[in-house]
Amino acid sequence: MVHEIGLDSFLFGQSWMPVDFGTGTTFGIFNFICATLIVSALALALSFVVSVGAALFLSCAGSTTVRNIVYPAIDLLAGIPSVVYGFVGLVVVVKLFLAAGHPSGSCVLAAAIVLAVMVVPFMVSSMSDTMTAVKQTYLTASYLLGVPRWYGIYAIVLPASIRMLWPSVMLAFARAMGETMAVMMVVGNANLFPTLLGKGETIASLIALEMGTAAVDSTHMHALFAAGFVLLVIVFTVDVIANLIKNRMHRRTTYSSGTSTWILGRVGARLVQAWAYASITLVIGTVVFLFAYVFVQGASCMSWDFIFDSPSGAILGTEGGVFPAIAGSIWFSVCALVIAAPLAIGTAIFTTFYCKHRTIAAAIRRIIACTAGAPSIVLGLFAYMLLVNELKLGRCILAGGVALALMIIPFIEVRAEKALMSIPRELIVNARSLGCSTSYVLRTIAIPYCLGELFSSLVLGGCYALGATAPLIFTGGVAYAPVPTSIFDPAMALPLHLYLMLAQGTTVPQVYATAFVLMTLVLFVNLIVTVGAQWGKKQWNQY
């Protein structure tokens, strides 16, 4: 591809013309790179203040009961499929821009707003862990000295935590750059240099929109794969920078609040308190709004026929129902879990209990982190090239399942490892001091102790796969596909069905009803996770 186009022309060219209309073809991705960076940076700027405030509340102010309610709500926000975010962005955010006088409603700022909502739960989760560690180290001691709680949060926790939050911000930035469907549905998809109220197109959107029309082994296809490689390099570079910042922060053992900065005293403490409460209210309000909006709009269109019929009509979704899409989503998710579960759980067990060398364990965790940051559209490209194109499997559940498995392996592994690391150290030490083998400790202590958390990580991984769209566009999703009978059949999935209906101009009621079914599945899965976690704790207490 470099010989055909030239590296400079490819990276810094602003013209993308894959079809020759007499002036030749051109493949320059500079505008797409800029749009990817600018949309992601704007999303982080919009979400940072809310995320820090919500993390402050959860780590320092919320009671155990409140946290047990809020954290599942934030998990719900993270579990909403990106295509639903894109759909709500189209019918709410874009319409608001139209009402404000914007000519089309679709623009870089609209995409950034939608993307900001998507990255908030990931930032809140990682930031609250950092702030909790700082709180445990310093805030308890400040209480003994008579320092009021919110003054301690303002003068100690916030300044000590703020510079340690940058790894979380960088990782969220990497994740935002890989988002495909939600951004693609509201950004306008025009090869223009991105401006705040102008249209743009990200690299992930470019690949998703054009890979289906690119001829096999053509320059067009090679350019799309090269664009995916560039996106992967950018994401990995950001991930490496985040890791370097994190390591540097861990090497520093002292924290300074900087008295010249935190000079507002009790007024500043009150402002931080108001900021934290406003932020957590906004996060919870967003969760309630998203589910309430989809449920209210979609409930009037729901019927048993819609759930159990197959789609029909000249335009997808205008008649019939979504049963093949529901069945296909289950097939894809189960296939992905069968592939991912043993690899993810096995890796977590190995790094926690069997790996004796810190360097090897650190290398494994670095690979997991890099895989977690890989854009889902790039994972879909990999599965397409290997399974669909090279191995000639065609579009099928197995190809889509492999792409989804690559996506959820780090998701499951990180949660499983965290669950295994939460086992009280004294239990492991006492068992080994009695001569128990590692395998015996795993069977009798480790697995029973965190069984509920391991179950939850698998179910959440399946839910993550259930809501994915981008990896299935090239690998296994086919419109009007019947209910599959084997892993070598193509299938339709609910999120892809929703996106295709929007792309083909299907009437809105059917789209709302499809989103209703998808959100109901997400809510049901999260209920299973909550029940599973409680069941695991109960089983251990009875053990």
Tell me, yes or no, whether 294 and 379 share the same domain. Answer: no
Q: How far apart are CA 128 and CA 151, in angstroms?
A: 18
The whole-number average pLDDT for the span 202-210 is: 91
DSSP letter string, 104-139: SS--HHHHHHHHHHHHHHHHHHHHHHHHHHHIIIII
Among the residue ranges 32-41, 334-343, 381-390, the one predicted with the least confidence is 381-390
Write the pLDDT tens digit of every residue in 442-488.
888 888 888 888 888 898 888 889 888 889 988 988 888 899 999 99
Tell me, yes or no, whether 293 and 316 share the same domain. Answer: no
CATH number at residue 44: 1.10.3720.10
- Kindly tell me if the per-residue pLDDT of 323 is higher than 50: yes
Domain presence at residue 258: no
The residues near 469 (Cβ < 8 Å, ≥ 6 apart) are 81, 82, 83, 180, 181, 493, 495, 496, 499
Domain presence at residue 538: yes
By percentage, how much of the chain surpasses pLDDT 70? Answer: 92
Q: Which H or E run contains 79?
A: helix 64-79
Tell me, yes or no, whether 293 and 324 share the same domain. Answer: no
- Which pLDDT value is given to residue 543? 57
- Which pLDDT value is given to residue 256? 47
Indicate the number of domains in the chain. 2
Tell me, yes or no, whether 402 and 294 share the same domain. Answer: no
The whole-number average pLDDT for the span 57-63 is: 85
pLDDT higher at 374 or 335: 335
Domain presence at residue 8: no
Q: Which of 155, 125, 367 lies closest to 269 in space, CA to CA?
A: 155
Tell me, yes or no, whether 235 and 145 share the same domain. Answer: yes
Write the pLDDT tens digit of every residue in 144-194.
677 777 888 888 788 888 777 877 788 788 888 888 889 999 999 999 999
The whole-number average pLDDT for the span 527-531 is: 77
- Which pLDDT value is given to residue 115? 94
Tokens of 233: 């390099």
> What is the pLDDT confidence band of residue 255, given thresholds at 50, 70 and 90?
very low
The whole-number average pLDDT for the span 343-354 is: 92
Tell me, yes or no, whether 384 and 320 share the same domain. Answer: yes
- Name the range with the highest mean pLDDT among 40-44, 314-318, 510-514: 40-44
Q: Which H or E run contains 319?
A: strand 319-320
Tell me, yes or no, whether 290 and 323 share the same domain. Answer: no
Tell me, yes or no, whether 350 and 244 share the same domain. Answer: no
For the stretch 30-52, what's the b/e string if a residue is b when 16 or more beta carbons lie within 10 angstroms of its beta carbon? bbbbbbbbbbbebbbebbbebbb
Tell me which of 273, 300, 327 is where a domain ends. 300
Q: Which domain holds residue 168?
A: 32-249+265-300
Domain presence at residue 24: no
Tell me, yes or no, whether 335 and 290 share the same domain. Answer: no
pTM of the model: 0.88
Tell me, yes or no, whether 221 and 321 share the same domain. Answer: no
The whole-number average pLDDT for the span 41-67 is: 89
> What is the pLDDT confidence band of residue 250, given thresholds at 50, 70 and 90?
low
Write the pLDDT tens digit of every residue in 377-423.
888 988 998 898 888 888 999 999 999 999 999 989 988 998 888 88
Q: How far apart are CA 72 and CA 67, in angstroms?
A: 8
Domain presence at residue 260: no
The residues near 498 (Cβ < 8 Å, ≥ 6 apart) are 83, 84, 87, 511, 514, 515, 518
Tell me, yes or no, whether 376 and 285 share the same domain. Answer: no
DSSP letter string, 483-495: --SSTTS-B--HH
- Which pLDDT value is given to residue 412? 92
Write the pLDDT tens digit of every residue in 84-104.
999 999 999 999 999 999 998
Domain presence at residue 469: yes
Residue with tokens 């309430």: 292
Domain presence at residue 7: no
> What is the pLDDT confidence band of residue 229, given thresholds at 50, 70 and 90?
very high
Contact at 8 Å (CB) between 40 and 118? Answer: no
Domain presence at residue 515: yes
Tokens of 62: 């919320």
pLDDT higher at 148 or 322: 322
- State the average pLDDT for the chain: 85
- Which pLDDT value is given to residue 253? 44
- Which pLDDT value is given to residue 258? 44
Tokens of 265: 């005293």
CA-CA distances (angstroms) from residue 407 to 83, 152, 371, 494, 538?
16, 40, 8, 18, 31
Tell me, yes or no, whether 339 and 269 share the same domain. Answer: no
- Which pLDDT value is given to residue 288? 93
